[in-house]
């Protein structure tokens, strides 16, 4: 996952901040609970905005490991809390894919993310426990049996699973699980069309173009998802265009489309409320892809 889009970019941070609220509230006095709740919620919102509007990704990257350990401790204390598990899964996925360059480390971190994501769904709905071990038809039927209350947990499981697949994309067994990830995001869209719509379309675009056409990639379908994601985000999520170029245009050797998308990313203003951090990362990726394009095409 080269970048984490729109609400998805905020989801790991927001989840982390929920854990910070718990930590701060625990340090308070119960008699002042309403004051603490108001104060910590304000702190959370301000910190979330500060992170998402940060234009120096290294600052976020260097600070994240401490929060990962803190989330682990919260999971230890609340192993059945779906919200805590979702927060841990999403932050591990974001950190492992966006900020970690070492492949072995990325595989370890995304494996933990996937484990937390699965636990989150199980905590949300017991019928979701162990469905990932089912044959595809039974898995798909089980996913379709989940209801709207499970949307957030199902989304997290799909996100963490996709992050795992991307970190293990040299493993054919992992790539074979793309069908399950697609079934998850398709069901999320059916359950609640307003739940992170541009992110869902973005991830469906990646899923359908992560493999070349000869190995099962569905590029017409993937392109439609990317284009819809761009429209839903009003073009403000630059990471969608980067992934469109990376997975679709490069694989099909469509250099004109590749270069046009990346130039549009570089010409755009990365400073967008709630998107600056990940737009900055997207522009870095765009420069690298353009520079390597002369050798690739």
Reported as a single tens digit per residue, the pLDDT across 4-57 is: 434 444 444 444 444 444 443 443 333 344 443 444 444 444 555 666 677 888
Does residue 118 register a pLDDT over 70? yes
pLDDT tens, residue by residue, 263-284: 999 999 999 887 888 899 999 9
Separation between Cα atoms, residue 90 and residue 72, nearest integer Å:
12
Angstrom distances, CA of residue 173 to CA of 1, 71, 89, 240: 18, 29, 21, 26
pLDDT tens, residue by residue, 209-243: 999 999 999 999 999 999 999 999 999 999 999 99
pLDDT tens, residue by residue, 244-257: 999 999 999 999 99
Sign of the C-alpha dihedral computed for residues 112, 113, 114 and 119 taken in this order: positive
Residue 75 sits in the same domain as residue 177: yes
- Whether the CB-CB separation of 143 and 184 falls below 8 Å is answered with yes
Number of domains in the chain: 2
Residue 45 sits in the same domain as residue 68: no
Boundary of a domain, candidates 131, 156, 189: 189
Residue 185 sits in the same domain as residue 243: no
Residue 95 sits in the same domain as residue 160: yes
- The rounded mean pLDDT for the chain is 85
Residue 151 sits in the same domain as residue 71: yes
For 153, counting Cβ atoms within 10 Å of its Cβ (0-12 exposed, 13-18 middle, 19+ buried), the class is buried
74: domain CATH number is 1.25.40.920
pLDDT tens, residue by residue, 122-172: 999 999 999 999 999 999 999 999 999 999 999 999 999 999 999 999 999
Boundary of a domain, candidates 160, 189, 218: 189
pLDDT in the model for residue 18: 46
The boundaries of the domain holding residue 89 are 58-189
End-to-end CA distance of the chain: 22
- Whether the CB-CB separation of 113 and 165 falls below 8 Å is answered with no
Residue 49 sits in the same domain as residue 64: no
Boundary of a domain, candidates 131, 162, 189: 189
Residue 201 sits in the same domain as residue 274: yes
């Amino acid at each position: 996952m080269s970048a984490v889009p729109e609400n998805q970019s905020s989801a790991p941070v927001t989840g982390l901040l929920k854990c910070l609220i718990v930590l701060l509230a625990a340090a308070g006095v119960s008699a002042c609970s309403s004051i603490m709740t108001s104060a910590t919620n304000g702190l959370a919102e301000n910190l979330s905005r500060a992170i998402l509007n940060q234009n120096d990704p290294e600052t976020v990257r260097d600070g994240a490991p401490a929060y990962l350990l803190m989330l682990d401790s919260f999971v230890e204390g609340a192993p059945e809390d779906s919200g805590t598990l979702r927060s841990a899964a999403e932050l591990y996925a974001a950190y492992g894919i966006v900020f970690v360059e070492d492949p072995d480390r990325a595989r370890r971190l995304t494996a933990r993310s996937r484990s937390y994501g699965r636990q989150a769904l199980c905590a949300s709905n017991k019928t979701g426990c162990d469905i990932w071990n089912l044959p595809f038809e039974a898995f798909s039927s089980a996913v379709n049996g989940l209801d709207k209350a499970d949307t957030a947990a199902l989304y997290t499981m799909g996100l963490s699973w996709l992050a795992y697949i991307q970190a293990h994309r040299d493993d054919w067994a992992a790539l074979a699980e793309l069908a399950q990830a697609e079934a998850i995001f398709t069901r999320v869209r059916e359950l609640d069309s307003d739940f992170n719509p541009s992110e869902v379309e973005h991830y469906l675009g990646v899923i359908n173009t992560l493999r070349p056409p000869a190995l099962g990639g569905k590029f017409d379908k993937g392109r439609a998802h990317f284009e819809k994601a761009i429209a839903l985000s009003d073009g403000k999520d630059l990471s969608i265009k980067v992934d469109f170029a990376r997975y679709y245009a490069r694989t099909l050797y469509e250099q004109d489309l590749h270069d046009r998308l990346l130039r549009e990313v570089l010409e755009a203003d990365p400073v967008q409320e709630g998107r600056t951090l990940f737009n900055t990362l997207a522009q870095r990726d765009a420069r690298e892809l353009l520079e390597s394009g002369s050798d690739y095409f």
